[in-house]
Amino acid sequence: MSKLRSKKLLALLIAVSAVVIVAGIVLYALLGFNTAQDLSGSKVLEVTYSVNVASENVDETNTPAGEVLETQCEALIKAAGLSYSKEVATGKVFDSDGSNIGDSYDTIVSYTLNGASDEQLATLKEAIVSYAAAPTSPEVFHRTSEEVSVTWYQTESVSFNKAAWRGAIALAVGAIVALGYLTIRFGVSCGVAGLVCCAHDALFTLAFFAITRIPVYSFAPLLYAAIAAFVSVAVWAVLSVRIRTNIKSAEFAGKTGTEIANETVNSSWKYVLIVAGVVAAVIAVFGIVAASGTRALVLPALLAAAVPAYSALFIGPAVYTPVRKAFDDRRAAKKGGYVGKKKKAELSE
């Protein structure tokens, strides 16, 4: 592990993190996140059918007429060379007495179509209306003019940034307060390194989603960043506890802060990986067992478990050691006492 954490490699890893974060910020500024899961800017074909269509069966096959209509709609969409995602909703109206929401008893089937043109949507609408009106179609479709209706529309999401900026401020303030406590309990070096790790992990996670364009729900990136920040603070706090224990330990007497940090990380890397692995396993199991939509929300959070492990092992110690050394030197200079050969050698470097 100590070989892995050579100065050159550390410099390389820090450079990689910096590049990823900067690239992520630039891409976010230009393109934002890929919030395709929200289906913003979608084109939707909406087929509404009455309670008669929903409840009556077609004679020949004894299939609900609504199901027959939906199957036909889907066949027409496929025939037009389009793919779709489907949502079924029930119709609601404002009650005529103006005090409640009432039922229209309609079934509304919305097909969100990928890459459809206005012309294609108009053609599809015409085809479905023609099918419903055709004498060969089930009678219930054209019993009255209100049994089946078709419309299409394009939506454009209006975004709210309030949750995002308040969340970002909340995480920043929360991290500063929590790491302030860490500073009081474990020293400035631990606090500074923890803050850097926490900021790195939250930003790296956000940057990753901005760069890779993984489709996410609009609220999700901040949640992932928050998970990364929480895991980061918890893992770094555990490492800080171990560093403090080692500093007090007789085994490490006479060693410099750099040496103690290095040896602590060297003896703890397995455990950091186990913690990150367990958190990742929990997220993976939760994502795999839960429903498909949940999977799309939960599985990207795996990154939020991986990044804190990386920063705790590489970024944190790389920040901790020079800060610790600077404080040790300052303290030694204040005391004006004997510095020690090793520290003197470090100072002369």
**Residue 297 is a binding residue for another protein (CB under 8 A):** yes
Find the binding residues for another protein in span 76-135 (CB under 8 A). Answer: 87-95, 99-101, 104, 108, 118
CB 151 within 8 A of CB 123: no
* Minimum CB–partner distance for residue 239 and another protein (Å): 10
Pick the stretch among 15-23, 61-69, 159-167, 339-347 that binds another protein (CB under 8 A).
159-167
Task: Tally the C-alpha atoms within 13 A of residue 306's C-alpha that lie toward its C-beta.
Answer: 9
| Tokens describing residue 52 | 């008669």
Between 14 and 234, name the residue whose CB sits nearer to another protein. Answer: 234
| Tokens describing residue 133 | 């009106």
**Residue 175 is a binding residue for another protein (CB under 8 A):** yes
* Minimum CB–partner distance for residue 189 and another protein (Å): 16
**DSSP run (H or E) holding 109:** strand 101-113
| Tokens describing residue 307 | 């990044």
Find the binding residues for another protein in span 196-225 (CB under 8 A). Answer: 219, 222-223
Between 114 and 155, name the residue whose CB sits nearer to another protein. Answer: 155
Instruction: Please name the residues in contact with 111: beta carbons below 8 A apart, sequence gap of 6 or more.
Output: 44, 45, 46, 47, 73, 74, 77, 84, 85, 86
Residues contacting another protein: total by CB under 8 A: 79
**Cα 297 from chain centroid (whole Å):** 7
| Tokens describing residue 18 | 């910096």
Between 58 and 197, name the residue whose CB sits nearer to another protein. Answer: 197
* Minimum CB–partner distance for residue 330 and another protein (Å): 25
Q: Which of 49, 131, 141, 152 binds another protein (CB under 8 A)?
A: 152
Task: Tally the C-alpha atoms within 13 A of residue 349's C-alpha that lie toward its C-beta.
Answer: 10
| Tokens describing residue 90 | 């029930």
Distance, CA of 234 to CA of 223 (rounded, Å): 16
Here's the x/- map for another protein, 33-52, by CB under 8 A: it reads as -----x-x------------
Here's the x/- map for another protein, 244-263, by CB under 8 A: it reads as -x------------------
Pick the stretch among 25-33, 72-80, 162-170, 202-210 that binds another protein (CB under 8 A).
162-170
Amino acid at 64: P
